[in-house]
Amino acid sequence: MAKKAPRRTAERILEVTLDLFNRFGEPNVSTTLISAEMGISPGNLYYHYPAKDELVNALFCRYERALGELLNAGGGVRDVEDAWFFMHTLFELIWQYRFLYRDLNDLLSRNRRLETQVRGVLKDKVRAVCALLDGMCRAGAVRIDKREAGPTATSMVVVLTYWLSYEYARDPRRALEPEGAQQSLLRGAHHVLHLLVPYLEPGQRVHLLGLAGAYGAPQNE
């Protein structure tokens, strides 16, 4: 049986960097710490990524590719159950790159390239949620005036984007620890979709509350 080729150093650097950024926050992780964690020289790290911003940009590009594939599924949502799965999957991806969300404003203040990329991602999210609302409308799960669809989609994206910041502000010591991840993501999915309650057909409204309860998402937080 042929041996697997060893992972390239550049890829390993990104994996270790992502783990450290997520655990400690990007501002608290130096390139010296990354190289020490990997057991390589700082020069080896700089050969692949000459500056910390390049590590951030490379990780963001990874996230952006995965997000683009996921957002394409927004137009296939037809009911609350589809929407719940779609939102929870989005939150799982956000969790994988949670440092971007916890440290977003600080990153944007220092990284002009990221500033442009994030603006594009926000537009893509709004378009995907608009497609989700359109699909649910056509399927009869939602009744919403076209004039309200855009602002509602934007509100959903705001909650989606800043949910982990809210969780962190509520409980900085534990909110973004792995053991709390599942409940945090479920709460986020519930609160994003709760914005649709005024527009859901009665049966869909009941189903949303049932899904939140079945998956253990606290409805009073």
Q: What pLDDT score does 37 carry?
A: 95
Asked whether residue 160 falls in the same domain as residue 86, the answer is yes
Domain count, the chain: 2
Place of tokens 């057909």: 201
**Domain containing 46: what range?**
8-50
The span from the CA of 143 to the CA of 25, in Å, is: 41
- pLDDT exceeds 80 at position 164: yes
- Of the two residues 164 and 13, the one the predictor is more confident about is 13
Q: Is 142 helix (H, G, I), strand (E, B) or coil?
A: strand
CATH number of the domain that residue 87 is part of: 1.10.357.10
Asked whether residue 98 falls in the same domain as residue 117, the answer is yes
Q: How confident is the model at residue 167 (pLDDT cuts 50, 70, 90)?
A: confident
Return mean pLDDT, the chain: 89
Q: Which residues contact 70 (CB under 8 A, 6 or more apart)?
A: 89, 90, 93
In a domain? residue 219: no
Q: Is 1 helix (H, G, I), strand (E, B) or coil?
A: coil
Q: How confident is the model at residue 175 (pLDDT cuts 50, 70, 90)?
A: confident
DSSP state of 173: T
- Of the two residues 141 and 5, the one the predictor is more confident about is 141
- pLDDT exceeds 50 at position 43: yes
Asked whether residue 89 falls in the same domain as residue 25, the answer is no
Asked whether residue 65 falls in the same domain as residue 35, the answer is no
Q: Is 213 helix (H, G, I), strand (E, B) or coil?
A: helix
> Domain end: 50, 67, 84, which one?
50
Asked whether residue 32 falls in the same domain as residue 110, the answer is no
Asked whether residue 80 falls in the same domain as residue 23, the answer is no
Asked whether residue 24 falls in the same domain as residue 45, the answer is yes
206 CB-side CA count, 13 A: 2
Q: What pLDDT score does 216 carry?
A: 57
Q: How confident is the model at residue 214 (pLDDT cuts 50, 70, 90)?
A: low
Q: Which of 21-35, 126-140, 164-178 has the lowest mean pLDDT?
A: 164-178
CATH number of the domain that residue 38 is part of: 1.10.10.60
To the nearest whole percent, how much of the chain has pLDDT over 90? 70
Q: What is the dihedral angle through the alpha carbons of 13, 15, 20, 21, rounded to the nearest 10 degrees?
A: 100
In a domain? residue 27: yes
Q: What is the rounded average pLDDT of the residues 28-32? A: 95
- pLDDT, one tens digit per residue, over 94-128 is 999 999 998 888 899 999 899 899 999 999 999 99
